[in-house]
Structure 1
Amino acid sequence: GHEDHNIIATLRLLKLLVKCGTSLQDIFTEQLQTTPTNTWRGITPQLFSRLGHPDSWIRKQVQNLISRIGMEHPHDIVYPVLVGEVDIQNDSLQQQQFQSISLILRKQFAELY
């Protein structure tokens, strides 16, 4: 149905971001800041997996997107962020990304922590 098409489309956009994002920075920077977060909620596990991307600009875009989802739908994000913060298998870059997202959520939703 409609939700399946949405997930397929967002996965394609994520793939485009990951593979070609830096060459399309202007477009992605503007669009990722304004797209409705509901659009991305269906692929949050895939977004979290991209926090370890080697390109810092792409990592920042994914982090910002997850943070935006968390501001509107904290219940979708809090648990994976808490687990990611303490997961010793994550490299230091990934842990920094999780910590940054966690800090944003803690400021907004202290009662959840």
Structure 2
Amino acid sequence: MFEGTIGTVVATLRIVRLLVRHSDSLHALIDAEMRHILPQLFARLNHPVAAVRDTLCALLERVAALAPHAVCFPAIVGATQLIDRSLMYECCRRVVARLESLYPELVADVSDFVKELQRINMLSEERWTFVLSNLDHEMSRRIAQIEAEKAKTLANDYLTDEEKEVIVKEKTRILYAMVSI
């Protein structure tokens, strides 16, 4: 246990020394180069530790101030998807609030764009619902037609059981073939 504490202190001192010696270049690196790893940063916003999330949010807010075009869309999308992402949602709301204070027109335009994309996506889903319900209705009608034809054929007294079976199979095949066309 003592070695773990010493190891932690040594690692912390090395990080502090790195920050003191190279603060100018690290500051530029954090501000300019972090936008290249934005997807990874946003993916980590669901981290269970609040301190990690706060650090990532602060970093994203700094990047948003310098490169709003790179952060705006993923932050707004994350802030509009409340389901199953409560931790990420709060961080994205913070980033969007920061962006709104700096670039209100950009946030408004991107928010409208995201809403329109969601509306278009819903239209596609509605279209599929309509198509599938029509197919369901058509299949139900065809199955009822097959059952009616089967009942007529089986009620015919002039045919043998083998002939009835062949006729029922052929009618069923013909009606199902019409569906697959």
The separation in 2 between residues aligned to 1:54 and 1:35, in whole angstroms, is 29
**1:1-113 equivalent positions in 2, closer than 5 A:** 27=15, 34-36=27-29, 37-112=31-106, 113=108
Of 68-77 and 79-88, deviating more is 79-88
- Supply the AA of the counterpart residue of 2:58: N
Shift of the 90–97 alpha-carbon distance from structure 1 to 2, 3 Å rule, reads farther
Gaps of 5+ in 1: 1-22
Of 42-51 and 83-92, deviating more is 83-92
> After superposition, what is the alpha-carbon deviation per residue over 1:50-90, rounded to whole angstroms, capped at 9, x for unaligned?
11101111111111111111100000000001110112444
Contact between 1:51 and 1:62, CA under 8 Å: does it hold in 2?
Answer: yes
Task: Name the count of aligned residue pairs.
Answer: 88
Q: What corresponds to 1:3 in structure 2?
A: none
Of structures 1 and 2, the one scoring higher in RCO (CA 8 A, sep 6+) is 1
The separation in 2 between residues aligned to 1:52 and 1:38, in whole angstroms, is 24
SS at structure 1 position matched to 2:48: coil
TM-score normalised by length of structure 2: 0.44
TM-score normalised by length of structure 1: 0.67
Instruction: Look at both structures and tell me which one has the larger radius of gyration over its CA atoms.
Output: 2
| Percent of aligned pairs with the same amino acid | 28
